[in-house]
Structure 1
Amino acid sequence: MLESLREEGMCFGCGSRNSIGLKLIFEQDGEVTRTTFVGAPEHQGWKGVIHGGLLATLLDEAMGQWLWARKIVTMTAEMTTRYRTATPVGVKLTVEAKRVAEKGRLIQMEAWIKLPDGTVSARAAAKFLKVKPEDMPKGASSLEQN
C-alpha cells in the first residue's frame, strides 16, 4: 500500500515529478534522517535569506521522512519552529531529524538545519499522529505520501 502511494512522485518535498517541488533526497544514518538543500533566489524572503516558511517545510519534511523510512504513516499534528539566525540562499544546508519519544499514536520528533560551518540556523519540535487507513478521506492517498 505504501509504495503504491508513492508512484505519482508529486510530493512537494521529495517528489521527483513535481516541477515546482524541492526534490529532496534523504538518507538514513542510524537514528537520524538527513538531506541537503541549497536555496535559490526564488526561495528567499528578505534579499539573500531563505523564506522562513520554506525552512519550516524542510524541517517538517525531514521529520516526515524519518517516519516514512520506517513505514510509519503519520500526519503532522503540531510543529513549533525556532529560527536562530538568518539562513542564506546559495549555501549547502544540512537538514536532520530524529525521533524523541513515542506514546500510543503520537510520535514526538525533532529536526534542525545546519549551515556549512555547523551553526544551527533553525530547529523544530513536532508531534506526528499515526494515521489509521479508515481515518483517511476517500481519494486522499497522498496523506501517506506520493
Structure 2
Amino acid sequence: MRGVLGGLALIWGIWSGLAGAQQHPARMVGKWCESDNGGQSCSGYTSYFPDGSAYAYTTSVEGNRLEIVGMWGHIGRYSCFTHIAFEEYDENTNLLVNWGSRRDFCNKIIGLGLSEFVYEDYEGERHSIYRLSDTPDRSVWPPVSGE
C-alpha cells in the first residue's frame, strides 16, 4: 500500500478534467497483492470491483490493521483513486483508533497483464501488484505477510 497510497498529491488536474472518461477494465477486477519480492509475500491487498469501488488493507506504521475504501478508474495511461477513506484498528483489541480521508491520486500505468500490474508512483518509483483472485472481496484475509 505504501506505493499505492503514498502518492497522494499526484495529477489532480488529469482526474478533475477527465473524470467522465474513466474506465474500469475487466482485467483489473479482482484481488491483488502488493509485493516487493515478486509476490512471495504481500505487504497489503487491494480488491478492485467492477462498479469502480476498491477495498484495501495493510498494516500501519504502528502495527495496526489499516483498511482503505475508495473509487478507482483508469484514465488513459493513469490508474486513479478517489474518495479515499481509511480506518485503523488496534492489533490487540480490534477497536477503531484512527480514521480519516486522503487526497485523490493517480499512478502511471506501465503494464497491465492478467497476473501482474506494474505502475509508476509520483516519485517515479516502479511497483508491482500480483493477482491473487479474479473475485474481489472485502475480507481481511489472507493476513499481511510483510514487505
> TM-score, structure 2 length as denominator?
0.34
- Name which one, 1 or 2, has greater alpha-carbon Rg: 1
Q: TM-score, normalised by structure 1?
A: 0.34
Higher relative contact order (CA 8 A, sep 6+): 2
Higher strand share: 2
